[in-house]
Structure 1
Amino acid sequence: MAKKRHSRYPCEVSAMVSIQQYQSPLGGILLAADEVGLVGLWFEGQKYFANTLPVGHCAQTTPILAEAKRWLDIYFAGKEPDFLPPLHPVGSSFQQSVWKILLTIPYGQIITYGDIARQLAAQQGGRVSAQAVGGAVGHNKVSIIIPCHRVVGANGSLTGYAGGIDKKIKLLELEHADMSRLFIPKKGTAL
Structure 2
Amino acid sequence: MMTTCSYDSAFGPMLLAAKDGALLGAWFLGQKHFPEALAANGDAPPDGVLARAARECDAYAAGQRRTFDVPLAPRGTPWQRAVWDALRAIPYGQTLSYGELAARLGRPGSARAVGAAVGRNPLSIFIPCHRVVGAKGDLTGYAGGLDRKRALLALEKALPGRAA
Question: Are the equivalent residues in 1 in contact too, given 2:4–2:39 (CA < 8 A)?
Answer: no
Specify the alignment match of 2:143 in structure 1: 162
Cα displacement (A) at 1:155: 1.4
Query: Runs of at least 4 residues of structure 1 off by over 4 A?
Result: 54-58
Question: Are the equivalent residues in 2 in contact too, given 1:32–1:40 (CA < 8 A)?
Answer: yes
Structure 2: gaps of 5 or more residues: none
2:75 and 2:41 map into 1 onto residues whose CA distance is 16
* Counterpart AA for 2:49: I
1:142 and 1:106 map into 2 onto residues whose CA distance is 17
The 1:49/1:142 distance shift into structure 2, 3 A limit, reads same
Specify the alignment match of 1:100 in structure 2: 85
Question: Are the equivalent residues in 2 in contact too, given 1:17–1:58 (CA < 8 A)?
Answer: no
> Which TM-score applies when normalising by structure 2?
0.89
1:79 and 1:94 map into 2 onto residues whose CA distance is 32
Q: Which of 1 and 2 has greater Rg?
A: 1
Structure number with higher helix proportion: 2
> Which TM-score applies when normalising by structure 1?
0.77
Q: Percent identity at matched positions?
A: 49
Cα displacement (A) at 1:25: 2.4
How big is each residue's C-alpha offset from its partner over 1:64-117, in whole Å with a ceiling of 9 and x where there is no partner? 112101111111102334542010110000000000010111111100111110
Of structures 1 and 2, the one scoring higher in RCO (CA 8 A, sep 6+) is 2
Specify the alignment match of 1:74 in structure 2: 59
Cα displacement (A) at 1:130: 0.4
Cα displacement (A) at 1:133: 0.3
| Secondary structure in structure 2 of the residue aligned to 1:60 | coil
CA RMSD of aligned residues (A): 2.1
Specify the alignment match of 2:32 in structure 1: 47
Structure 1: gaps of 5 or more residues: 1-15, 183-191
